[in-house]
Structure 1
Amino acid sequence: MEILSVNVGRLRAVEHTSAATGLSGVDKRPVPGPVRVLAPGPRDTGASGVEGDEIGDPRFHGGGDRAVTAYAREDLDHWERELGRTLADGAFGENLTTTGVDVNGALIGERWRIGSGVVLEVTGGRVPCNTFQGHLGEKGWVRRFTRAGQPGALLRVIEPGTLRAGDPVRVVHRPEHDITVALLFRAATVERELLPRTLVAAPWMESSLLEVAREYAEKHGG
C-alpha cells in the first residue's frame, strides 16, 4: 500500500461553484515531494491540510475533519473504463492518490501511518457537488458518482509531517465498529435509513455528516 501522488490545486475561476468568489481548487495536480501536511484548524477556516493546496469554498472543504482527501488509483481506473477517457492522478480533486489501499472499505476512525511520520484518521466519504461535475464535464455526474458508492475518503491530521509519492501506507488502528467510508456515504445519500446505525462511529465522524446522522436519528428514531 502506498501513495502514488500528492496533489494540490490552485484557485481559479470556474463556472460551476457555489463559492461566492467563483473560485475553486478542484483541479489538483501532482507535485514533487516532500509536501508538508498539518492540521489546518476548525471547519470553515478555508484551509487544506496539504501545503500549497487552496480551498475555494470553506463551507464544504478543508478544516480539521476534512484536512486531506484520498482516492484509490484502482477506482480511477474503473472510471476510466466506464467513461472511456484518461483520468490522471488528482483528476477527482483528491490530495492523495493511493494504490493497494481499500479507501472505501476503510473504517471511520481508522488511522493510516504514511511514511515514517504522518498519521491520518478517516472521518468520512467525499460527497460530490456541482463543482466536481463541472470539473469533469460529465452530464449527470453527481447522480452517477453517488450511485456507484466509491466516494474516496476524508481524513484529519493526527500527526503532522511530510510525505511524498512512493511513501508506504500502513493501517495502524481500526476501531471496533463496522461503519466504513462506503456505508456512511450510502447512509448520507441514497440509504438514509442507515444513518442511525452510523452513530456508533460518532467520535470519529466528520462534523457535517455527524450533524446529518444525529438530526435524522432524532427525527425518525434510532
Structure 2
Amino acid sequence: MGELVSVNVAVPRHNPAKSTGTTGIDKRPVDGPVRLRRPGPKTTGLGSGVIGDAVYDVRHHGGDEQAVYAYAREDLDAWGAELGRELTGGMFGENLTTSGVDVNGARLGERWHVGDTVVLAVTVPRIPCDTFSHWMGEPGWTKRFTAKAVPGSYLSIVEEGEVQAGDTITVVDRPDHDVTIGLVFRALTLEPELLPLLLAADALPTDMREKIERRIG
C-alpha cells in the first residue's frame, strides 16, 4: 500500500521550446480534494484528467490514455540528490506525487485504487521532450533522464472521483505479464531489441502495438 503525497496542477508558463507558446509543465501541489475525470480524446477532449490542471500541447499530451501522470517521491529525491537541488512535488510535471508505489515497475494495465472511489490504470511511460529539458535547465537533461530509465507512468481513469494528499494507493489488479513501465520506456528509447517483449501486454495501446509490429516486421 502506498500514499498520495500531493496532487499537482499546472501554473501556465511561457514555452520557448515549442510552437504552442505555453506549457503546463510547472505543476504545484494543491490543498483539499481534486476531482479526476476522463478527459476524452487527446486532440478534441478536455486535455488533462485532473480538474484544475491544463494541457496546452494537445498533440502530444492529455487524453484518456494520458489522463494523469504519476511520479514517485523516492525518484524525485534521488534526482534531487544527484542534481544538488530540491525537487518539489510536481516539478517533473506530474499530477500525482506518490510514495511507496513502484511506479516504474508497474505493469501495463495494472490498476490502482486511490482514496475512496478512484481507480486508475497504468498505460504508458513518459517520454522526455524539449519542454521538459528547457524547464529543468540541466545540461544534457534528456540524455540523462533517458539513461536513468525511471520515467514515471501515465494512467487512464477507470473510475472517476476525488483524491487528495494523504490518500492511500492500493494495487488492486496486476496483470499476468512482465511488461512494466520501465521495460516499455527502455524499449522505446535506448534498447529497441526489447520491443517484441512489449506485445505480451494486452493493455499495450493499439497505435503503439501497430507501430511496434511494423518496426519488427
TM-score bracket relative to the smaller structure = over 0.9
Question: Could you tell me the TM-score, scaled by structure 1's length?
Answer: 0.93
Counterpart contact for 1:188–1:213, Cα < 8 Å? no
Distance 2:207 2:156 in 1: 17
Residue 138 of structure 1, CA deviation: 0.7
1:156 is paired with a residue whose SS is: strand
Residue 56 of structure 1, CA deviation: 1.3
- Residue 34 of structure 2 is aligned to residue 43 of structure 1: no
The worse-fitting range, judged by mean Cα deviation, of 168-177 and 7-16 is: 7-16
Distance 1:126 1:5 in 2: 19
1:204 maps to what in 2?
203
Distance 1:39 1:178 in 2: 27
1:200 is paired with a residue whose SS is: coil
Report the aligned-residue RMSD. 1.3
Counterpart contact for 2:11–2:28, Cα < 8 Å? no
Map 1:3-82 to 2 at 5 A: 3-16=4-17, 18=18, 20-45=19-44, 47-82=47-82
Q: Which amino acid aligns with 2:88?
A: A
Counterpart contact for 2:67–2:156, Cα < 8 Å? yes
2:184 maps to what in 1?
184
2:214 pairs with one of 192, 215, 218? 218
Counterpart contact for 1:123–1:156, Cα < 8 Å? yes
Q: Which amino acid aligns with 1:141?
A: W
Counterpart contact for 1:38–1:49, Cα < 8 Å? yes
Distance 2:200 2:40 in 1: 25
Map 1:53-202 to 2 at 5 A: 53-201=53-201
Residue 11 of structure 1, CA deviation: 2.5
Distance 1:27 1:204 in 2: 29
Offset from partner CA, 1:48-81 (integer Å, 9 cap, x none): 0001111010111100000000000000000011
Distance 2:123 2:36 in 1: 16
Distance 1:96 1:114 in 2: 11
Identity %: 53
2:28 is paired with a residue whose SS is: strand
Residue 213 of structure 1, CA deviation: 4.4
Residue 44 of structure 1, CA deviation: 1.7
Offset from partner CA, 1:91-148 (integer Å, 9 cap, x none): 1000000000100000000000001100000001110101001111112101110010
Distance 1:159 1:216 in 2: 29
- For structure 2, list consecutive stretches of 5 or more residues without a partner in the other structure: none
Distance 1:93 1:172 in 2: 26
